[in-house]
Amino acid sequence: MTTAPHSAPSAANNYNGHGHSHENTVPKGALVMACGVVLVTLALTSATQLGWIAPSPSASEVRSAEAATALSSRVLQFADGPKGTVVVTDATSGATVHVYGEEGSGFIRGVLRGMGRERQKRSIPMLAPYELNHWSDGSLSLTDTATNRIVELGAFGPTNRTTFEALLK
């Protein structure tokens, strides 16, 4: 019984002896498309940064352009209370508005943590008040009166929005 001699695999054809290649290649068209997407993204980002393309207006800019007015507003202070609670106080009257236990304060803590970072960077006291506004266009916002940072609370869904909305009552 005679068998045909196997030729040794060469580096030139990169075959494993079974008639097909195991070389890992990406199709040239896919590489060209990926590079094109990266270049278009960089071009659009640069054009926006250089002022050639106007950025999208913020929610507060849209409200201003539409002449939206505050239907209800409240100036609040948030402080850590005993046993992990969050105490919400009306900054004008000093009255306690609400005390959230550990379970009910997750979203409020998250929003305040984000706004608190900005205060820490600028060495602003944590007890500076916030302004909560319900606008005529239906939006709800929390403004840090110390940094002027605005958080649009509707962006986090109706359940989280309701958490802050209850503080206006």
Taking the CB of residue 102, how many other CB atoms lie within 10 A of it? 11
Note the pLDDT of residue 53.
84
pLDDT, mean of each 10-residue run, the chain (169 residues): 54 58 83 95 90 77 75 93 89 93 79 90 91 92 93 90 91
Residue 23 belongs to some domain of the structure: no
Residue 148 belongs to some domain of the structure: yes
d(CA 114, CA 1): 79
- For residue 143, the Cα-to-chain-centroid distance in whole angstroms is 16
Assessment of whether the complete model's pTM goes beyond 0.85:
no
Torsion of CA 14, 15, 20, 24, to 10 degrees: -30
**Cα–Cα separations (whole angstroms), residue 168 to 19, 88, 120, 156:** 74, 11, 27, 18
Helix-, strand-, coil-residue percentages of the chain, each rounded to 5: 40, 20, 40
Residue 9 belongs to some domain of the structure: no
Number of domains in the chain: 1
Note the pLDDT of residue 149.
92
Note the pLDDT of residue 5.
56
Supply the range of the domain harboring residue 70: 59-168
At residue 31, the 3 state secondary structure works out as: helix
